[in-house]
Structure 1
Amino acid sequence: MSSTNRTVVVTGIGATTPLGGDAASTWEGLIAGRSGVKPLEQEWAADQAVRIAAPVAVEPTEVIPRPQARRLDRSAQFALVAAKEAWADAGFEAKAGEDPAVDPDRLGAVIASGIGGVTTLLDQYDVLKEKGVRRVSPHTVPMLMPNSPSANVGLAVGARAGVHTPVSACASGAEAIGYAIEMIRTGRADVVVAGGTEAAIHPLPIAAFGNMMAMSKNNDDPQGASRPYDTARDGFVLGEGAGVVVLESAEHAAKRGARVYAEAVGQGISADAHDIVQPEPEGRGISHALQNLLDRNDLDPAEIVHVNAHATSTPAGDIAELKALRKVFGDHADHFAVSATKSMTGHLLGGAGGVETVATVLALYHRVAPPTINVENLDPEAEANADVVRGEARKLPVEGRIAALNDSFGFGGHNVVLAFRTV
């Protein structure tokens, strides 16, 4: 089964986000321009400089049996919810080995997280300090492992071709999907369940991000706080959740008569080598990732009509990305409908690339680009470099083959760009 040029397609999608407990409700929220950001109501939030976040709309315990949920970190719970939806959406009725449509030795799982089981780690440390050694859960280590979401998804579907966990901060989810594309393209697997998850709405991460001056402190207007490209943007809003896709070789999907959402064209990867936190201001590393995408994949720039931008609502990062798009694509960038969906979901860190891949695929499938909300005064540099979809969703071309990009960047200078197109 070895090959280096197999076509990869998306046959299943799943999500649990601040906008909805599944992909359909999340997509509905994105198209409606609805914000999932809320005031934090926990007692610990009162002392925080940042008192807003974007929690999931549906608690995972409403989907996962409570006995199972108690043995999973929240990040793994999210991943399992999204993966099970994607698996069923792809048309698989049982896990590999029980469903004749998929061979477990040809099935992989790649689920990323930027931070992993941070809530389990911190909560169990509190238990240790307050209640003693004997009260620490024996499930703590399997719960806090960064590979726990991927491992549990792999167990749920019966994956034996490989289970992996890329960790590259906020680029993790996109890198997982890019890795999965390569697993299929190079013949390691026929089907891969891939995406990203994060659950970090906890006092320590919020305090740390807040003290870095990375998060919005617009506590009086939670739904207006995440405002990419607006001149008044003051940082990101922390979100939580997961987004997962089922990727499949086109041949395998055709044999079983699967519905195909889009072709997964490929990935482009680079690193800034600039700073552990700050992006390279001119977007040079991002430019390299975009050029790498074009050089390594069969993608005509003229096909690209939509970009789901990383756009976290930070003053420096938003513009660097747009400069990179303009540098690589030149006048073609005038035809990109740029959406910043973090304006609605908040920033899901390692889960962002997974959720935004789902949004990108659905944008192509339905041929409509979600809006960027809260842009009251468009930054002149953004206006000079991009066509930002504002206010309302925008229809994409209804005829011919079109393509879209999903950009993800992370602390450490990680840059990942994914490309998809209609079939």
Structure 2
Amino acid sequence: MTVSASKKTEQWTISASQRVIVDPLLDSLVLLTEYFGSPCSSDSLAAGLPMQGHVLTPELLPQAASRAGLAAKLSRKGLNEITPILLPCILLLKDKKACLLRELDVEHDKAIIQLPETGGEETLSIEELEALYVGYLFLVKQEYRGDMGFDVHLHENKSHWLLQTLKDSAPIYRDALIASVLVNLFALVSPLFIMNVYDKVVPNLAFNSLWVLAIGAGIAYIFDLVMRQLRSYLIDVAGKKVDIIVSSQLFAKAVGIPLEKRSPSVGGMAKQLGEFDSIRDILTSATITTLVDLPFALFFLTIIYLVAGDLALIPLVGSFIIIAYTLIMQPKLKAAIEESNKFSGLKHGHLIESLSSLESIKSSGAEGLVQKSWQQMIGHTASWQLKSKKISTSVTNVATFVVQTSVIFVVILG
């Protein structure tokens, strides 16, 4: 009985690394990395990705492929549209399966696929493969890196993570800037309409011309409304895209940071990561349109000069005064904001660490010491925030004062 019982308890020994979930897309990508001469493990390709059910999804495959120096693109093609230059590629099959298409010979009715489950090859007929294929595939090639041996010292610096993300959204921002150009052009409608009415229509009582001008101005304002709505929508879309990508990158870097390089204050680190929301607010606001609005200021000054001559010098001088005052106050404002952010991070870190160590604080009777540190941090934060607000408010007030006085001088000299 003892011998038979021992035989029943004997089992195969399988290591933890071998007990893996079948992942057709990830396993196919691993096979492709071996094909292109840069073999990568499934763990290195999928580390930190928000996989669903521990399985790589089609949305995440391009991101995983980029880690191996590969560019992957989802495409919809029939088997007869796949040319030899596109091979090998990953075919999406029914029942959420995938395979690697190595060779395709339509004339001889033969297709060679590589199964991700075993890594082995299998030959199928076109009809058999067509019955499994869902019509979508991933085209995968090595990323273009140029001549790595030429002038390597001039290209050592990697592209900035935020600038590269903005570059990817450049087409959307381009369309938003085009809409801003049209909005600035439509801004000329109101002064031109008023000028023509008082100079031409009123002296001659030309009411027919008045209605023509009014209809034309109304049509222009309708287009202006459409362009403003379109510009706002495009900026929001681009900002959302940048926010998702940047937030994912920041969280991945925060999770993957070496422990010896981690900030001693968890709360301060969380506050710093949260401060990146301000970047999103800038990218999703109308502030981005100043790239177009500022050059148009010179255009409007030119129009004023053509219509009123030397009167254009008054708004020109006013603009220089505002710019000069802003540049003078900019270093002070920068220093105040930096100090405010520093103490705000310390305050946030102190709060998180105090709440997480509340039991230890109570047991050691350190409530008073913790409260004192909290009040000091609040005082410093409030002081620097007040200073930065005073500086920014002074810039706004000076700009308003210059505009008001410019109107007075225009009326006097005009």
**TM-score after normalising by structure 1:** 0.23
Structure label with greater radius of gyration = 2
* Larger relative contact order (CA 8 Å, sep ≥ 6): 1
**TM-score after normalising by structure 2:** 0.24
Structure number with higher helix proportion? 2
Structure number with higher strand proportion? 1
